[in-house]
């Protein structure tokens, strides 16, 4: 059985993308699809390689019953081959990922995370790093919405094999 592989990408891989990864894993597990959908995250920058998710982000996620785990890593060109869908948190991340695709072969795999949100109007997931707690809470709520929409789209397009 083929596993559908998702990669969530932000700048430093300590706030937005690990939150999206862990939220999606949480939703996938609740649906009983952990054997068919896998998630990872990465950053376009090399600022925080090896670090855990930001403590403020962990607090915001924990308030919604989600643990943020993992270690930051940088996006690499081999990710284009390794993942079925690459989800950028904002336009800068999107452009950086496209720029890494030197031959222009993988553009169809790259989407903006907010394309899947149904209850929020934002076009990008804002970076909460330099703000207060309200920014982290907003990001978690936005990602819960977008990840739910993404999971529904994956299921509706039968990108995963039915049980």
Do 4 and 36 meet the contact criterion of CB atoms below 8 Å apart?
yes
Catalytic residue positions, numbered = 10, 16, 127
């Amino acid at each position: 059985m083929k596993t559908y592989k998702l990669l969530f990408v932000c700048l430093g891989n300590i706030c937005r993308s690990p939150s999206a990864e862990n939220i999606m894993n949480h939703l996938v597990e609740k649906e009983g699809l952990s054997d068919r959908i896998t998630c990872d995250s990465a950053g376009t920058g090399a600022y925080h390689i090896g670090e855990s998710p930001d403590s403020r982000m962990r607090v915001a996620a924990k308030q919604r019953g989600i643990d943020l785990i993992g270690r930051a890593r940088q996006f690499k060109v081999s990710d284009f081959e390794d993942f079925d869908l690459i989800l950028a948190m904002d336009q800068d991340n999107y452009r950086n990922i496209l720029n890494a695709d030197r031959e222009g072969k993988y553009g169809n795999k790259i989407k903006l995370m907010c394309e899947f949100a149904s209850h929020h109007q934002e076009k990008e997931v804002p970076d909460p790093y330099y703000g207060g707690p309200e920014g982290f809470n907003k990001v978690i709520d936005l990602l819960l919405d977008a990840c739910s929409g993404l999971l529904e789209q994956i299921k509706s397009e039968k990108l995963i094999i039915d049980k």
